[in-house]
């Protein structure tokens, strides 16, 4: 019997690009964070809280978190594609990963905007 | 010179073994293939492929001290003893150093490795400017030895779905060809999370290619053209 392998999902480039763009966002945020720690030297709860009460900083942090989750999704899916051979198991694991990442994203929003 | 060679006959043996050989070489034995031919004259049960003995046909690719290469252009003087020889990794072994290359060639054929041009062929030949022709350098020289694809982890995990470095190099050879008119179809065919995007730029392929070719660069070029097409 000839085993036919269906391919041609017509995506791949978008994810590959997203992986690179999200990596840049994370790198920029990390540098920004390092500069803040070096220059502003937030040392106690009060100064950290003041930092996170800026709306722009919350947004930047959220952007970082979303980039991280999106990046993680592509990376984890790549690992599953490489190593998990059963389609059913792969699909189940992918769904679990997506649900977990969406939950983390919502949780990040809650944490960032709960600082008053 | 001492050798340890992978021996396996799936019809007789339950599992592969490494067999030791100690051969007295002649001064004319310079390349690994010379030594293998000598070993074969001592033990004719050893199976291997070879033909051109000058790095042109691509049939004597094998894993030499852990790295894929062609026996006929690997200098004996550069090899550490005992020289460990194994078949190319990741493909089914037919016997000893001979592997079943069907999967590799199937991927090669899947990229339609021929010129596609609907215009009627001119009397003599389809012309190309020297600059356009230059684009094909570093692409057309591939001898399909499979050293690259069988050293690529992505090809080991998904040999049925990932085209592999050799196939992708060939794909870019036709995408880059000014006489080919199927560029869009070719790009469509590769816009797939498995066929092209299993490549994680590990660059094992570049490291082993005995012809000094760079499949990773070709893969990068394909992505570049896809981006141009998308944005
Ligand atoms: S790209 Fe190099 S290693 Fe790969 S098949 Fe062609 S010649 Fe062999
Ligand atoms: S660069 Fe890509 S094709 Fe080459 S060995 Fe790495 S994953 Fe395979
Ligand atoms: S025998 Fe032809 S490439 Fe080595």
Do B217 and B111 sit in the same domain of this protein?
A: yes
- CA pair distance B97, B46, nearest whole angstrom: 8
Domain that holds residue A86: 13-114
Model confidence at A6, pLDDT cuts 50, 70, 90, reads confident
Residue B135: which domain range? 102-230
Stretch A6-15: mean pLDDT, rounded?
Answer: 84
Instruction: Looking at the CA of residue B201, tell me the nearest atom of ligand 2.
Output: 1
B144 & B91 share domain: no
- Which run of H or E residues covers position B93? strand B93-95
Same domain, B95 and B114: no
Q: Are residues B189 and B159 in the same domain?
A: yes
Q: What is the mean pLDDT of residues A96-107?
A: 97
Overall average pLDDT of the A18-46 stretch: 94
Specify the pLDDT at position A2: 59
Q: Where are the beta strands (DSSP E) in B121-225?
A: none
> Hey, are the CB atoms on A9 and B193 less than 8 Å from each other?
yes
Q: Does residue A8 have a pLDDT over 90? A: no
Residue B71 vs residues B109, B140, B146, B148: alpha-carbon distances, Å: 26, 22, 13, 15
Query: What does the pLDDT look like over B169-212, one tens digit per residue?
Result: 999 999 999 999 999 999 999 999 999 999 999 999 999 999 99
A104, containing H or E segment: helix A87-114
Which one of B99, B121, B149 terminates a domain?
A: B99
The stretch B56-80 carries a mean pLDDT of 96
The reported pLDDT for the residue numbered A5 is 75
Contact B200 A78 (CB under 8 A): yes
Global confidence as pTM: 0.91
Residue of A nearest to B186 (CA): A8
Ligand 1 pocket test, candidate residues B173, B199, B211, B219, most atoms within 8 A of CB: B211
Chain B residues with CB inside 8 Å of A19's CB?
Answer: none
pLDDT(A41) > 90: no
Which three-class secondary structure state does DSSP give residue B22? strand
The CA distance from A13 to B40, in Å, is: 49
CATH number reported for the structural domain that contains residue B72 in this entry: 3.10.20.30
Residue B137 sits in the same domain as residue B197: yes
Q: Are B49 and B59 in contact (CB under 8 A)?
A: yes
Residues B178 and B195 in one domain: yes
Look up the CATH number of the domain holding residue A25: 1.20.1300.10
Task: Give the other-Cβ count within 10 Å of B159's Cβ.
Answer: 19
Is the shortest distance between the CB of B143 and ligand 1 below 6 Å? yes
CB atoms within 10 A of CB A5: 10
Number of structural domains chain B divides into: 2
Whether B108 and B59 share a structural domain: no
The pLDDT of residue A101 is above 90: yes
Domains held by chain A: number:
1
pLDDT at position A100 is 97
- Of all residues in chain B, the percent with pLDDT exceeding 70 is 100
Last residue of a domain, one of B99, B131, B162: B99
> Which residues make Cβ contacts (< 8 Å) with residue B196, sequence separation at least 6?
A12, B163, B168, B190, B219, B222, B223
> B7 and B52, same structural domain?
yes
The CATH number covering residue B188 comes to 1.10.1060.10
**Cross-strand bridge partners of residue A94:** none
CA distance A98 to A7: 23
Mean pLDDT for the stretch of residues B134-160 = 96
Maximum C-alpha span of chain B = 63
Per-residue pLDDT for B128 more than 90?
yes
Domain identity same for B50 and B95? yes
Interchain contact, B192 vs A3, CB within 8 Å: no
Confidence band for A115, pLDDT divided at 50, 70 and 90: confident
Chain-chain contact of A12 with B161 (C-beta, under 8 angstroms): no
Q: Which residues of A44-68 are buried (b: 16+ CB within 10 A; e: fewer)?
A: eeeeeeebbeeeebbebbbebbbbb
| pLDDT for res A4 | 74
Q: Of B99, B131, B160, which marks where a domain is finished?
A: B99
Work out the percent of chain B whose per-residue pLDDT is above 90: 98
Cβ neighbours of residue A58 under 8 Å, at least 6 residues apart?
A52, A112, A113, A115
pLDDT-derived band at B13 (thresholds 50, 70, 90) equals: very high
What's the confidence (pLDDT) of residue A7? 75
Query: Are residues B127 and B207 both part of a single domain?
Result: yes
pLDDT of residue B59: 96
C-alpha B26 to ligand 3 mean position (Å) = 21
What's the ipTM? 0.83
Look over chain B and give the mean of its residue pLDDT values, rounded to a whole number.
Answer: 96
Which tens digit of pLDDT belongs to each residue from A56-71?
Answer: 999 999 999 999 999 9
Instruction: Check: CB of residue B112 under 8 Å from CB of residue B186.
Output: yes
- What was the pLDDT predicted at B32? 97
Same domain (yes/no): B138, B32: no
Do B95 and B122 lie in one domain? The reply is: no
């Amino acid at each position: 019997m000839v085993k036919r392998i269906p391919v041609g999902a017509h995506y791949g480039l978008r994810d590959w690009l997203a992986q690179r763009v999200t990596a840049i966002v994370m790198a920029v945020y990390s540098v920004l964070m390092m500069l803040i720690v070096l220059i502003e030297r937030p040392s106690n709860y009060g100064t950290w809280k003041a930092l996170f009460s800026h709306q722009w900083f919350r947004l930047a942090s959220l952007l970082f978190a979303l980039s991280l989750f999106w990046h993680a999704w592509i990376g984890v899916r790549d690992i599953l594609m490489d190593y998990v051979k059963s389609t059913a198991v792969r699909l189940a694991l992918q769904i679990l990963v997506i649900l977990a990442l969406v939950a983390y994203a919502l949780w990040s929003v809650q944490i960032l905007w709960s600082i008053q | 010179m001492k050798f340890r060679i992978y021996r396996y006959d799936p019809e007789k043996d339950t599992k592969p073994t490494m067999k030791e050989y100690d051969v007295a070489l002649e001064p004319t034995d310079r390349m690994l293939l010379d030594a293998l031919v000598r070993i074969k004259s001592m033990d004719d049960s050893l199976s291997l492929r070879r033909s051109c003995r000058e790095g042109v046909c691509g049939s004597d690719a094998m894993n030499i001290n852990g790295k894929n290469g062609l026996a006929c252009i690997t200098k004996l003087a550069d090899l550490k003893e005992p020289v460990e020889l194994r078949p190319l990794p990741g493909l089914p072994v037919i016997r000893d150093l001979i592997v079943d290359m069907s999967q590799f060639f199937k991927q090669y054929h899947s990229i339609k490795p021929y010129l596609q041009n609907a215009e009627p062929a001119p009397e003599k030949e389809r012309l190309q400017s020297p600059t356009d022709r230059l684009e094909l350098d570093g692409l057309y020289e591939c001898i399909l030895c499979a050293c690259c694809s069988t050293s690529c982890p992505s090809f080991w995990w998904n040999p049925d779905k990932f085209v592999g470095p050799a196939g992708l190099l060939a794909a870019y050879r036709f995408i880059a060809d000014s006489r080919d008119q199927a560029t869009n179809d070719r790009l469509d065919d590769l816009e797939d999370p498995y066929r092209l995007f299993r490549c994680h730029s590990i660059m094992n392929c570049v490291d082993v290619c005995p012809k000094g070719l760079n499949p990773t660069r070709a893969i990068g070029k394909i992505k570049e053209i896809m981006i141009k097409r998308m944005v």
